[in-house]
Amino acid sequence: MTTPTIVLVGHGMVGQRFLEALADRDLTSRARVIVLCEEPRPAYDRVQLTSYFSGTTPEGLSLVEAGFMEKHGIELHLGDPAVTIDREARTVTARSGLTVAYDTLVLATGSYPFVPPVPGKDAAGCFVYRTVEDLLAIEEYAMTSRTGAVVGGGLLGLEAAGALKGLGLTTHIVEFNPRLMSLQVDEGGGAALRRTVEDMGLIVHTGVGTQEIVTGPDGSVTGMSLSDGSALDADLVVFSAGVRPRDQLARECGLPVGERGGIVVDERCRTADEAVYAIGECALASDGRVYGLVAPGYQMAEVAANAIAGEAGTFDGADLSTKLKLLGVDVASFGDAHGATPGCLDVLYSDSRSGVYKKLVVSPEGVLLGGILVGDADSYGTLRPLTGSVPPVSPGQLVLPAGSGAPVALGVSSLPDEAVICSCHNVTKGTILAAITEHSCTTVPEVRKCTKAGTGCGSCVKVLGQLLPPAADQGLCGCFAFTRAELYEIVRALRITTYAELLDHHGRDTARGGDGCEICKPVVASVIASLAPAVGASGHILDGEQAALQDTNDHFLANLQKNGSYSIVPRIPGGEITPEKLIVIGEVARDFGLYTKITGGQRIDMFGARVEQLPMIWTRLVDAGFESGHAYGKSLRTVKSCVGQSWCRYGVQDSVRMAIDLELRYRGLRSPHKLKSAVSGCARECAEAQSKDFGVIATASGWNLYVGGNGGATPRHADLLAQDLSDAELVRLIDRFLMFYIRTADRLERTSTWLERVDGGLGHIRDVVVHDSLGICDELEALMAAHIANYRDEWADTLNDPERLRRFVSFVNAPDVPDPSVKFVPERDQVKPDLRLLAGPVLPVRTLSLEGTAGS
């Protein structure tokens, strides 16, 4: 028996979903599967394409799990699109000349960007916004551009405009319709969206068309002329005026196509040729529509796989609901959003000051027909599944904002089990609950893996989290039933200054009167230190009870190394240092025999100091003007910088000055985890700001602020929080962000993990930090101001306190005896630990026994 061959033409999001559907039905083991892909890379998340400009790599956008093709025996030909189809011979020929015979052919060729037929459209500097390669080309061209224009104010148009602005270009949006996103929002929603977009510094032109792309003598773009007679200066133009089905292959091989494009298919996604299927944006469905959203495409992929496997299933239309975040603004529409149903009524809420617009469309009987949400789409996940039913609360309550006094009782618990939570994969609430109860899914990633919910457009992820049961015990440890964030609020509100007081009054019954544990001691120490000015506590971590709570590194204001020695890390703000201070570091390292290394954080580390040498070394460094670099603390480490506009020919702002200002402002700030930052003087990002907890990138108009980045074992690119900020705006937002993080993060939680864990994610952080949605920003700024006003260098204070200095000994009962186990061997003209002596664990402070051996 001959093995049948399935050929897939196109490997986008829908094409990959089709391959997964084949694998789910075990068809990949019973058929040869060949994929002809035009692009040079496997399928990637085109919905999240713009995230490339905020740091997501092309590889990070991939939708293909490692080893998927090999596991299922799928033959993938990248960069080799199909060019002809011979239906009579049942063969497909690729651009390379490869000819493949098929038993079943599936067309998933997607769509192509529509470029208006205006003079100059092919000039150098004109681009479309569709693929990773398009974005790479735009990014490169933008390096020598100053002003950009986007033709089209729809979904992709706004994303393209945000990308150009993020690249530092003055950006115009030209939209022929009278409002932005005319397909998704009505006049009121468009007005709210426009106000918000213009507040971000983008220049919007609606109700006008592009007449001509003006070019210079070298043939490159210099401007645009518009239909109202006006003109724009621009040296980069992005066309994002809609898409058209890619049906050329079907046309050329004689398959029927629609009058306005699209390969005609039936309810089984089969064309007029029973051996050929079409799915996704290239297909004209049996209801006469071409669907340009990913969810209908995924449904078509499932239906086609069913048909090939001989299983039931039809495509009879799809939900056109969408929820997106464009330029940081939530925009959603669902159901009969424009009120086309006869006799329907509108329920409206509009707040032009905050850019929020909500409209629900209901029938006279109260049935929810659809809606539009701009600026606040948190309720989308529960409203959309209720479409077609009478909600359990009045429509007026559904549009009023939280805190307005309206008793809104609508939540995910009110949805029936048959409500579709994930429209991309048609996953119901009942299926998700079954995954939680029957498959023991306890986290959103586990639910996503088990059900595929949340793996499409992602708009349902928040609802998935709401369906999960709360954790049984959120307490920090066995001593406290409170989280770190709750302990922070208790310490702040009650002005608690000692760990003992907190444990006695707020510990668990079994812990009160005890000594606590190694989990909560350093956590509470950090909380009290970060709140010291506000609650009246001593700010020094080596004072009184505080000293006993610290871990080894904080205990000695230095990082313990593997052979029992310590590191010396003076602060060098921005990496800027004078020759005199360099000489001092060199002399100290030479005189004490320390290993020296220039780090990636633009500092000079010195290693190999014995504990009793630390005060002597720091005396010389403090006298030379150095202070603690806090390399040992859960606090700010460094603010890295490039050389900026002072030296670099690409620099647009003084990144060195800003880095120094920020490092000196936040030095010594105790937090749940270490903090790293960087400032880049232009979009070329030499300081790697997008891998930091908070990073700053200069633009021609100011600064862009990114938050939640992380290097290390689980790297994460930071997210854009705000754009084109002045110096004062930038500092104010960082103040708020850091204090909100310190206030609400869990123990040892980096900003990257915290941002992903917080309900609402980046949107919620932006609401709180930028828009002051909780009304706490004055308080956050006051806490930061108190920290700055009360900052004192920990090492300078320690050197002036004999009691604190008493701890810097190797043996508590023989303070004058150096630790004989700290040995070094030479290497590359310096020293390194003698690894032959490191068989056991490092013990920082020990007792010298009478026999001269080290005891516990």
The end-to-end CA distance of the chain, in Å, is 76
- For residue 824, what are the β-bridge partners? 833
Q: Determine if residue 344 is labeled as part of a ligand binding site.
A: no
DSSP state of 215: E
- 37 is annotated as contributing to ligand binding: no
Could you give the CA distance from residue 243 to residue 124 in angstroms, rounded to a whole number?
21
Measured CA to CA, the distance from residue 431 to residue 58 in angstroms comes to: 32
3-state secondary structure 568-582: ECECCHHHCCCHHHH
Q: What is the CA radius of gyration of the chain?
A: 31
Q: How far apart are CA 123 and CA 210, in angstroms?
A: 14
253 known member of a binding site:
no
The whole-angstrom separation of Cα 619 and Cα 808 is 13
Beta bridge partners of 716: 710
Tell me the one-letter amino acid at 785: A
Write down how long the chain is.
856
Distance CA 570, CA 603 (A): 8
The strand pair at 283-284 and 263-264 is best described as parallel
Distance (Å, whole) CA 514 – CA 296: 60
Q: Shortest CA distance to 196 belongs to which of 377, 382, 30?
A: 377
696 neighbors 658 (Cβ within 8 angstroms):
yes
Q: Is-contact 225 211, C-beta < 8 A?
A: yes
Residue with tokens 């023991």: 440
| Annotated binding-site residue? 477 | no
Q: Determine contact, residues 569/603, Cβ cutoff 8 Å.
A: yes
* CB contact at 8 A, 313 and 163: no
Contacts of 538 (CB under 8 A, 6+ apart): 497, 532, 544, 546
3-class SS of residue 393: coil
Give the Cα-Cα-Cα angle 77, 79, 80 (nearest 5 degrees). Answer: 65
User: What is the DSSP secondary structure assignment for residue 635, as one 8-state letter?
Assistant: B
Token pair of 250 as six digits: 């079907």
Strands (E), 709-819: 719-725
User: Residue 239 corresponds to which tokens in the numbers above?
Assistant: 């066309």
Annotated binding-site residue numbers: 642, 648, 682, 686
Annotated binding-site residue numbers for siroheme: 686
Annotated binding-site residue numbers for [4Fe-4S] cluster: 642, 648, 682, 686
